Amino acid sequence: MASFYGWTPDVVENMEYITALEYYVAIDCIEAQKILMDMQVSIYPKLTKEGQKQLHRKIHRKAYPEGLQKQMSFEDFARKMNGGRKDNSRT
C-alpha cells in the first residue's frame, strides 16, 4: 500500500487501522478506474467526432472536478470514490 500511494512504510505504520483500511479498499477503485480509462482511450480513434468530444468532456471533468477546490472530509472523499454509497460494500 505504501508504494501504491508513494508513502514511506512509517506513514502506514503510524496510521489508524480504519484509515489504512479505507486507503487499501480505495486501491481497487483507483485501479479499476484506470483500466476503464485505458479502455476508453484505446477506442478513441474508432469513435465518431461527437463520441470523441463526449469522451474528452468526460475525462476532462474527471481530471478537473469542480469540487476539487473545496475542502472535503475523508468520509466524503471515500463516499465519492465508492460511487455515492455510504458503506464499503461492493454490490
**Is 86 part of a structural domain of the chain?**
no
pLDDT in tens, the chain (91 residues): 889 999 999 999 999 999 999 999 888 888 888 888 888 889 989 989 999 899 888 887 777 767 655 566 778 777 777 766 555 554 4
10 Å CB burial of residue 55 (0-12, 13-18, 19+) is middle
Structural domain total, the chain? 1
> Domain range holding 70?
2-81
**Is 90 part of a structural domain of the chain?**
no
**Is 74 part of a structural domain of the chain?**
yes
**Cβ of 18: how many Cβ atoms within 10 Å?**
8
pTM: 0.49
